[in-house]
Amino acid sequence: MEKYLEGGDLTEPLLGFKNLAAALLFLCQIVPDYDRLLPMRKIGFPVYSIVYGFIVTFLFASSALGSWTRTGDMDTERAGINWGALLPDGRVFFAFLQHGGLYNPTTMTWSTTSSTPSPVGGPAVLLQNGTVLVTGGQLTPIYSPLTDSWTPKGVFDRGDHTATLLQDGRVLVTGGRIATQVVSSTRLFDLTTNAWTDGPDMNSPRALHTATLLLDGTVLVTGGYTNSAEIFDPVTNTWTNTENRLAARFSHTATLLTDGRVLAVGGSGDRSCEVYDSQTSAWVSAADTSMSRENHFATLLPDGRVLVGGGGTASAPFASSEIFNPSTGAGFWQSAGDMNVARAYSLAVLLNNGTVLAAGGTAGEDCNPLTCWVLYTRTAEIFTP
């Protein structure tokens, strides 16, 4: 203890206490009747609730695991841009309505692209040749960062879908809404032929769901107003159901962990989480987030942890963020501090230097005596672990 007092640095002992608290939190979560193991139960104290609440409060009140700092603002307020792509040169690309945006992490500034052929708004996928396919709007244009130009690639018919780059270079689009109908249909884009083809239908219609590329090249699709999940095999061109998830989710996130498992977080106002293990084809419960989240972002950090932040409804977004540590069986969450601006439906991209860019999104609402309207933000900030 003497060396800490001499240097005035309490980081190491605090970390030790936090690790102990995290371990106790994990014990409380896996042993629901923890209070029955303690003699205090004889005098009627709700020991489990007290211990659990104290540990959660301590973990989130102690120093956050990183910091948020403002960076340059975008040219205008934007929301619904949660489909960014990290370009080979380190810049960040997004597209929404009539323009795309580019963030330069070296100069910490934004610039706009040339105008899109038609309004766009949907998942953006970095292709193997360094161009970006934007799936959403009336057309599916490809953007070239080298020439700052757009090339239409066919009429597109859906929203609230997913788009995933397969290991063979094709792009898989799943589900979503066509007009007002939630669909199970899929489409495949092949860059070598510059053409779209119909893929096999999923077993269930889905919208506001997730699609995650697994280490073996298959794609795990989860949720979308259902607790079911299924896997697409691009070799056999078939869908196979997994066991049902523990909770029905939409507007959630699903992040591939470094060990090949998939972490599903929140959605539809839920704070529960679960993990899919492709080795056992089973879902298991994971530690809950500190608060219910939907329309949030989740980004895998270089050290294998997952940063989750923001979310909420368009009119009532959150500023808080937290980090999931998968090192224990159920994992545990620790605070990553509040962002400078509350945001939902925002952009979040891991940069080449290991920091995370969060930008845009909805930032609350403004009202007069007659009506209320949602506010968008042009702000951007950087999380440094």
Token pair of 114 as six digits? 């040339």
pLDDT at 42: 38
Of 353, 174, 121, 208, residue with least CA distance to 382: 353
pLDDT at 367: 87
pLDDT at 210: 97
CA–CA dist 323, 184 (Å, integer): 33
**Below-70 pLDDT ranges, the chain:** 1-63
Max CA pair span of the chain: 75
pLDDT at 353: 97
In degrees to the nearest 10, what's the CA dihedral of 219, 223, 225, 230?
50
pLDDT at 186: 97
pLDDT at 63: 60
Q: Which amino acid is at 368?
A: N
pLDDT, one tens digit per residue, over 33-48 is 433 333 433 334 344 4
pLDDT, one tens digit per residue, over 325-349 is 999 889 999 999 999 999 999 999 9
pLDDT at 28: 47
pLDDT, one tens digit per residue, over 171-197 is 999 999 998 999 999 999 999 999 999
* pTM (two decimals): 0.83
Report helix, strand or coil for 3.
helix
Q: Answer positive or negative: Cα dihedral of 263, 268, 272, 276.
A: negative
pLDDT at 126: 97
- Check if the beta carbon of residue 249 is closer than 8 Å to that of residue 223: yes
Strand order in the sheet with 99-104: 85-86, 92-96, 99-104, 109-112
CA–CA dist 46, 314 (Å, integer): 38
CA–CA dist 222, 234 (Å, integer): 17
CA–CA dist 373, 385 (Å, integer): 35
Q: Which residues contact 67 (CB under 8 A, 6 or more apart)?
A: 337, 383, 384
